[in-house]
Structure 1
Amino acid sequence: PEPPMLRTEIHEGRPLRLNTGRIRDQWHTMTRTGTSARLGSHLPEPFVEVHPDDAARYGLADGSFARITTDHGQCTLKVVVTAKQQRGMLFAPIHWSQANASAARVGALVAPLTDPFSGQPEAKATPASIAPYNYVFRGFALSRKPLSLPDHAWWARAAIGGGLGYLIADNADLKDWSSWLRSVAGDELAEYSDFGDGVYRAASFADGAIETCLFLGPARDAGDWEVAKELFAVAALTDEQRRLLLSGKPVQGLASTGPIVCACFGVGRTTISETIAAGAGSAAEIGARLKAGTNCGSCIPELKRLIAQSGIGHKHGKLAEAS
């Protein structure tokens, strides 16, 4: 019998087109680039880009989750609402596999169509649908060794200094997570729990350093991933640092610099935004102050977007015209 015909046009059930490809810092399925903590610090979790008009139409919010479905599979990805994306199109990167994420095998969504001469797959226009997918809890785990997370969790793994980081979302009872951590953590375990407010933070220590830690809570209250990574890299924490780690409060001298934008010099988005607010109105000025964008240059487009979003560059342009 003839194989069933593949639907290649959008229709009511699949009103969008899924475009797939790579991102700046990763290559293929991250078998090599995924081992770099520096590269993994820029975009550490799988995502889907959606135009603001489509986000409004389908009830999606920036930073939330969505389930993307094609005739060939499903993925659950973090939502990035951006005018960079075309209306009617979705973009999702290909790099996350079953080894480094729970539900982000974007390649499995693509129609099995190939060019008859080159064999190149048609990975740019698969009909797709998208819908919100809600998680009650967000958070992360850091560990010196690979972790086997509960089956009910959404997770994405990234290399960090000294070990591995896992970004997590879930709807299960937090008490189940406490039991899970006790099964994988060392003997020296400190916990903070407020199950009524949906907050659980815990860390185990070995020779004064963090061995494993787990932070879970409502989306905005889980804890600071960037600051926790900084403390994870400390050889021996003081008693005060331990207390502040589990309190979720900022640790003196370890203010978060935000997600890394310039991988060459380790410059974070928060640091760049503060520099823009202080008057840096061009990528060249940011480079002069922070070095960001002065080596490989691959972060310059993002520097320009941050300037445009701030309005600083526009104001500088008006001043230049006036003078």
Structure 2
Amino acid sequence: EDLGIHLPMICDRYELRDDVMPGAGRYRGGIGVVKAQRRSAIEGTQMVIRPFEAKTYGFAICRELPKEINAPYWAKAKCIGGWRIEFAFAKKQDTSNLITNILGLKKDDANISFEDETSGIERFVWFNKEQAHQMEAAIFVAPTPVEVSRSWAVDLLSTRHEDPQERFRIIASRPSQDVPDKGAIVCSCFFVGANEIADAVKAGNISVQAIGKCLNAGTNCGSCKSEISQIISENQAIAAE
């Protein structure tokens, strides 16, 4: 950061580490950051960063990381059972090409698919040919940020999918009633989601300490306590209305 203030620097890579699973100990810890930057050859160069205006958004999960991801904007992260990928394009994409560019798979090989021309929402799921209960990959595409619970989607990679009806829930982008949606993960140490914390608040746990006793959230590294406090305040405000 200091070099960037005093010298014209170009950042080529800035991402979370993906060569190891997070936290080798009992609880999940930080996974670290990889940052590669170089000095601009032109002295006095002013770097201007403009917002990326996307027309196509997507989220994908896969058991094996593709050899190459071709998209103007993308980010990958290791997860239990495989990988998760966020991506976006500045223009509307041909679905077949998009799937090949992101996952290296063929659209026609998908076992289950959903395409809505009116909304522009598209979803595809691939299962293992030899072990039919094992999901290999899934991709969710939309003209706006994809509304899919990331924690629920990631769990799909380590879940057995033997019930045909449950398979179609993947395309519907919602978990079954007996598998509650955790929501965005707030406490990484104990894998506690925002929805779980909100439900605990509604049940009468209205302090960070109470949430800790109920869900263990915030009782290890403590870095999520401020976010837990915010969720408590938001839900109390909703209840007051």
Flag whether TM exceeds 0.5 (same fold): yes
Pick which of 268-277 and 171-180 moved more: 171-180
Which of 35, 43, 47 is residue 21 of structure 2 equivalent to? 35
For residue 125 of structure 2, what is the aligned residue in structure 1? 203
Q: Distance in 1 between matches of 2:115 and 2:226?
A: 42
Secondary structure of the residue aligned to 2:84 is strand
For residue 229 of structure 2, what is the aligned residue in structure 1? 304
Deviations 1:52-91 (A, max 9, x none): xxxxxxxxxxxxxxxxxxxxxxxxxxxxxxxxxxxxxxxx
Deviations 1:283-308 (A, max 9, x none): 11111211112233232232223334
Quick check: 1:230–1:254 contact (8 Å CA) kept in 2? Answer: no
Pick which of 180-189 and 142-151 moved more: 180-189
For residue 187 of structure 2, what is the aligned residue in structure 1? 262
Is the aligned partner of 1:242 residue 2:150?
no
Pick which of 273-282 and 195-204 moved more: 273-282
Q: Distance in 2 between matches of 1:192 and 1:138?
A: 16
CA gap of 1:214–1:148, structure 2 versus 1, over 3 A, is: farther
Moved over 6 A (4+): 109-112
Is the aligned partner of 1:143 residue 2:62?
yes
Q: What displacement does 1:193 show? A: 1.8
Q: What displacement does 1:182 show? A: 8.5
Q: What displacement does 1:166 show? A: 0.8
Q: Percent identity?
A: 24
Secondary structure of the residue aligned to 2:161 is coil
Which of 80, 93, 114 is residue 173 of structure 1 equivalent to? 93
Q: What displacement does 1:180 show? A: 4.8
CA gap of 1:301–1:110, structure 2 versus 1, over 3 A, is: farther
Q: What displacement does 1:238 show? A: 1.3
Q: What displacement does 1:153 show? A: 4.0
Quick check: 1:231–1:237 contact (8 Å CA) kept in 2? Answer: no
Deviations 1:2-41 (A, max 9, x none): xxxx9749xxxxxxxxxxxx9xxxxx95266x5229859x
For residue 293 of structure 1, what is the aligned residue in structure 2? 218
Q: Distance in 2 between matches of 1:131 and 1:229?
A: 31
Which of 79, 83, 104 is residue 164 of structure 1 equivalent to? 83
Q: Distance in 2 between matches of 1:182 and 1:166?
A: 9
The normalised TM-score by structure 1 is 0.55
Secondary structure of the residue aligned to 1:132 is coil
Is the aligned partner of 1:108 residue 2:37?
yes
For residue 282 of structure 1, what is the aligned residue in structure 2? 207
Pick which of 203-212 and 149-158 moved more: 149-158
Q: Give the aligned residue type for 1:242.
A: R
Secondary structure of the residue aligned to 1:293 is coil
Residues 10-29 of structure 1 mapped to structure 2, 5 A cutoff: none
Q: Distance in 2 between matches of 1:154 and 1:39?
A: 28
Is the aligned partner of 1:184 residue 2:171?
no
Quick check: 2:135–2:157 contact (8 Å CA) kept in 1? Answer: yes
Q: Distance in 1 between matches of 2:40 and 2:183?
A: 37
Instruction: Give the aligned CA root-mean-square deviation in angstroms.
Output: 3.8
Q: Give the aligned residue type for 1:155.
A: W
Instruction: Give the gaps of 5 or more residues in structure 1.
Output: 1-5, 10-21, 23-27, 45-93, 98-104, 113-126, 316-323
Q: Distance in 2 between matches of 1:155 and 1:263?
A: 23
Q: What displacement does 1:234 show? A: 0.7
Q: What displacement does 1:243 show? A: 1.3
The normalised TM-score by structure 2 is 0.72
Secondary structure of the residue aligned to 2:189 is coil
CA gap of 1:7–1:179, structure 2 versus 1, over 3 A, is: closer
Q: Which has the larger radius of gyration?
A: 1
